[in-house]
Structure 1
Amino acid sequence: MGRTFDDITEPMKQFIEQQHVFFVATAPLDGAGRVNLSPKGYDSFRLLDEQRVAYLDLTGSGAETIAHLRENGRITFMFCAFEGKPNIVRLHGTGRVVRAADGEWDGLLELFDGADAADGAVRSIIVADIDRTSMSCGYSVPFMEFTDDRRRLLDWAEDKSEQDLEDYWAAKNSTSIDGLPALG
């Protein structure tokens, strides 16, 4: 049976810090809009305190999370045990987008020192205030073995200039698939 809490407990923290992948879910207010669910990897997630988290939002082919957060702020994170004891942790809250021009950018980016993310791959940092957490069994989640991170995104970004990235974001990340403003 699942258990709910108001903050990130110590067992949750320990579990989250061991995971190689997490999932981020957001949705627009319009019921006809598309729900977004994105897998995230690398060393890109940080627990800031018992009710606040941040992750490096890396350049991608879409910008649904950014668009949804700008519209309504709702966000859910999910971590699953693919190795060891079965477990699922969900963090529910309200998120916001921090870009390089924002005053808190440098301080947040320092939290990721040593992370496996090339500077050019990072387009924003998502910060979320967590108001509900839960742990559930995860009995049906399969066992999978982590072998390594994929480097393709990082290698792609290393070859890009700042202008190349700005052009890519303008072309691919200015709106969501439902037409909500994202980086545009």
Structure 2
Amino acid sequence: MGKIHDRISDRLREFIQAQPVYFVATAPEQGGHVNVSPKGYADTFAVLDDTTVAYLDLDGSGVETISHLRQNGRITVMFCAFSGPPNILRLYGTGRVVVPEDPGFSDLIKNFGPHPGVRSIIVVDCDRISDSCGFSVPFMSFDEDRTLLDEWAQRKDVQQKRTYRARNNRESIDGIPGLYPEETDPVTHHS
């Protein structure tokens, strides 16, 4: 039923591109809370090469992924087929946080669609690529992306975004450092 792949093949790339939602899981080094975040907007995910992927990290209510990655780097990204043939694809690896001030950010951001509220880009070097049957995943239909997150980000001016990030994105729910003070300034451009 399951299979381990040595790379992200064209078939797996097509599967990834066809999914309207994906899930990101991280955990602290010891104890604490495991985090699983659903991600939408298909144009926020990119396959960079056969073993490297990245996604656009947008403003959100927490900073768990950034905190966990900066602490230990462990991450899993999962895609499920809610239509068509059943399949679950998991990309296990080591993630890193690329903020707008980092070298390479301006090149990376070209891989994504336009979104306001860009906080960072998460890059994952995959060390295990596996898929499994997905026989119990239900059929569901995709109607359209919710635009609420982009709309929320567009309504905020620079000071409001700075204040929001300082209040909500400096540390995880377990107190693990997230965004550094100098990283709470909003990106002056969006993807």
Give the TM-score of the pair, scaled to structure 1: 0.94
Amino acid at match of 2:163: D
Name the SS for the 2:17 alignment partner. helix
Aligned length: 179
1:39 corresponds to which residue?
Answer: 38
2:154 corresponds to which residue?
Answer: 158
1:169 corresponds to which residue?
Answer: 165
1:110 corresponds to which residue?
Answer: 110
Q: How many percent of aligned residue pairs carry the same amino acid?
A: 56
Q: Distance in 1 between matches of 2:159 and 2:53?
A: 30
CA deviation profile, 1:85-124 (whole Å, cap 9, x unmatched): 1000000000000111112111011111xx1522xx2111
Amino acid at match of 2:86: P
Amino acid at match of 2:115: A
Name the SS for the 2:179 alignment partner. coil
Q: Does 1:2 align with 2:2?
A: yes
Amino acid at match of 1:7: R
2:93 corresponds to which residue?
Answer: 93
Q: Does 1:124 align with 2:123?
A: no
Q: Distance in 2 between matches of 1:164 and 1:106?
A: 24
Name the SS for the 2:47 alignment partner. strand
| Contact residue 79 and residue 89 of structure 1 kept, 8 A | yes
Give the unaligned 5+ runs of structure 1.
Answer: none
Give the TM-score of the pair, scaled to structure 2: 0.91
**Runs of 4 or more consecutive aligned structure 1 residues displaced over 6 Å after TM superposition:** none
